Amino acid sequence: MNKLVILLTDALAPASELVESLSSAGLTVLLKDLSDLGPKASTAPKAAPLSRGSQTTPRLLAVIYEIPLEATPDGLRLIASQARSWSGVSIVACRKTTNRASRGLQAPDNETLKRLGFDLVADSSAQLPALLRQVEDGGVTGELKLPEGFKSDPESSAFLLPDSVRSRQLRGAFALLASLHLASNQKEAALSAVAGVARLVTADRWILFLLRQTSNTAAVEFEPLVAREFAKLNQLSFDEAWQRELVEEVEPSNIKASRASQEAATTIKAINRIEEERRVIAVPLVSGERVLGVLEGVRTNTRARSFSQNETALLTALTMPIASALANSVRIAEAERSSLTDDLTRLHNARYLRQFLVNELKRARRYGARVAALFLDLDDFKRVNDAHGHLIGSHALMEVAALVLPAVRDTDCVVRYGGDEFVVILPDSGIEQAIQVAERIRLKIERNEFTGGRRLKVRLTASLGIAVFPLHALSPRQLIVAADRAMYAAKAANKNCVRVVDEPVAADKECESDTRSVEPSQFQRIPVEKLIS
């Protein structure tokens, strides 16, 4: 599937360097002039034209804006708001790489940019491909801001259960709150909320909607996260059926939010009314200063009793911890992602590599597949740092990451192992496939002119080593050690080449095998290996 990004530009600043970086990552770039945006801007634009013979429709990943040095907070807030005309798409800010200090200008920090309306921030154009890969894999996570005019938290009395609550309801509320604490992501928290609320307040259907921010503060958009039908209203209890519902997979529904949900989100209070011959109750999910969504219950028969004041009070009290569970699950997911991501290049880090290799090797053993590992080390990279400084070197590493990512499949794993070393894991790949990928990466690095963010023309080369499970290693540690040794053989063979481990390794030995080259060549003695635990 073609991947499309929209780049917001000024006619005076076409952002050619940014376009080149995105295009080299295999993305289709659609330029959109800022003067064309405004309060009446249309929604999603027409897709960019496809190449002849293509039958696929481009998938819009993100809207990107490169922050000029003279940008003001009010101007950035307006642009982020206008970019929301493409609903459901991540809004990404990208910093210019020009030296701001020399002009006496200070760009807003990342937290300020997110408060102004941007979902993600790239420190340079070289960081964008890895950042967009994150968007594609997991989507943007984060709390949704309140539109202007929304109220803050309700009064503290809203946390209290109504005086008329029965002992059975009290035990059920405790079970619901306990299950929310165990939720590790938004879907699990929503499943617990819907399954628990249905046992406390009867309804034919319960839906939990997440709210999406739009450029129009008078209207909100909803995305159903969990929707369930409950036919046996009088037979629901906190039993084994409740436990099963907490772990069942539920496909997203196409159910649209009611007008009551729209009003509940904008007024931040419970709405109880009759709509289209149905009794509907909608309670906003508020966490801190943010509306995360709405919990909606429907009784399809108008002859059914309406939702009582006690039921409304009970729901209002329960939606506060539900909203907190949803918000906390996002923070947990973001923290987990950060712990597995390299801060500079936005690639995965060595901690993620260990987990990925363990899982892939287990799968390979079960199905008799092969897993190839490429160990990449930049040649004489210290000279770049010595000649131009570490900031230039850091930017060059981001540029290397931007070159490597589009050279592999979406199912492959690219890791910054440390310093100027990278590891690429290729599931379901043997030696020949690994050699092709390694040569492609090597040539891209050799032919590229690295700017370092300062419009320099720095040339780099890389040495790569290849090892394949189970031919050269039988464990994650052995596989990395073998690929590392092969990389040192490439270093010894005048660098800028690819080497492959030659002989298989025994199960009871470390990777003490020799190495061979793609094109036979002699090499020197390999230094002491680095290990992965």
DSSP state of 341: B
CA-to-CA separations, 443 to 98, 375, 446, 447, in angstroms, rounded: 28, 15, 5, 6
d(CA 413, CA 352): 9
Is residue 313 within a helix (H) or strand (E), and if so which, with residue range?
helix 309-339
d(CA 54, CA 59): 13
Domain boundary among 96, 113, 140: 140
> 351-358 long-range CB contacts below 8 Å, 24 or more apart?
352/413, 352/415, 353/413, 353/415, 353/417, 353/423, 353/425, 353/480, 353/532, 354/476, 354/532, 354/533, 356/413, 356/425, 357/425, 357/476, 357/479, 357/480, 358/476
Residue 524, in any domain of the structure: no
d(CA 199, CA 238): 7
pLDDT digit string, tens, across residues 181-218: 877 788 888 888 888 888 888 888 889 888 875 544 44
d(CA 110, CA 117): 11
Is residue 312 within a helix (H) or strand (E), and if so which, with residue range?
helix 309-339
Residue 369, in any domain of the structure: yes
Co-location of 310 and 391 in the same domain? no
Residue 532, in any domain of the structure: no
Co-location of 190 and 326 in the same domain? yes
Residue 522, in any domain of the structure: no
Nearest to 504 by CA among 493, 514, 496, 492: 514
Burial category of 434 from C-beta neighbours within 10 Å (exposed 0-12, middle 13-18, buried 19 and up): buried
pLDDT at 356: 94
Co-location of 297 and 436 in the same domain? no
Co-location of 511 and 438 in the same domain? yes
CATH number of the domain where residue 434 is located: 3.30.70.270
pLDDT digit string, tens, across residues 404-420: 999 999 899 999 998 99
Over range 84-98, report the average pLDDT: 78
Residue 442, in any domain of the structure: yes
pLDDT at 150: 46
- Which residue blocks in 58-206 are alpha helix, DSSP H? 73-83, 110-115, 128-138, 167-182, 186-200
Domain boundary among 140, 164, 183: 140
Instruction: Report whether 532 contacts 502 (CB < 8 A).
Output: no
Over range 135-145, report the average pLDDT: 53
pLDDT digit string, tens, across residues 96-109: 765 444 445 566 77
CATH number of the domain where residue 125 is located: 3.40.50.2300
CATH number of the domain where residue 170 is located: 3.30.450.40
Instruction: Flag the least confident range among 6-10, 99-103, 219-223.
Output: 99-103
pLDDT at 375: 96
pLDDT digit string, tens, across residues 46-55: 434 434 344 5
Burial category of 324 from C-beta neighbours within 10 Å (exposed 0-12, middle 13-18, buried 19 and up): middle
Co-location of 123 and 72 in the same domain? yes
Co-location of 16 and 108 in the same domain? yes
Co-location of 371 and 311 in the same domain? no
Residue 531, in any domain of the structure: no
Q: Is the pLDDT assigned to residue 89 strictly greater than 50?
A: yes
Co-location of 211 and 120 in the same domain? no
Residue 148, in any domain of the structure: no
d(CA 61, CA 214): 17
Co-location of 25 and 162 in the same domain? no
Co-location of 512 and 380 in the same domain? yes
Co-location of 183 and 111 in the same domain? no
Tokens coding 263: 């009003």
> 381-384 long-range CB contacts below 8 Å, 24 or more apart?
381/419, 381/420, 381/460, 384/452, 384/458, 384/460
pLDDT digit string, tens, across residues 283-340: 998 887 778 889 999 988 767 788 888 888 888 888 888 888 888 887 887 787 788 8
Co-location of 298 and 191 in the same domain? yes
d(CA 485, CA 483): 5
Q: Is the pLDDT assigned to residue 219 strictly greater than 80?
A: no
Q: What are the start-end ranges of the E strands in 193-277?
A: 205-212, 221-229, 271-275
Laid out side by side, the sheet with 515-517 consists of: 413-418, 421-427, 371-378, 462-469, 498-501, 515-517
pLDDT digit string, tens, across residues 498-518: 999 876 665 444 444 444 444
- Which residue blocks in 52-127 are alpha helix, DSSP H? 73-83, 110-115
Domain boundary among 286, 310, 334: 334
d(CA 22, CA 273): 50
Print the domain residue range for 356: 350-517
Residue 306, in any domain of the structure: yes
User: Helix, strand, coil shares of the chain as percentages rounded to 5?
Assistant: 40, 20, 40
pLDDT digit string, tens, across residues 337-352: 788 888 888 899 999 9
Instruction: Report whether 142 contacts 330 (CB < 8 A).
Output: yes
Tokens coding 35: 């003067």
d(CA 260, CA 271): 6
Please give the tally of structural domains in the chain. Answer: 3
**Reported confidence tier of residue 78, pLDDT bands at 50, 70, 90:** confident
Instruction: Report whether 483 contacts 464 (CB < 8 A).
Output: no
**Reported confidence tier of residue 162, pLDDT bands at 50, 70, 90:** low
Instruction: Report whether 518 contacts 497 (CB < 8 A).
Output: yes
pTM: 0.63
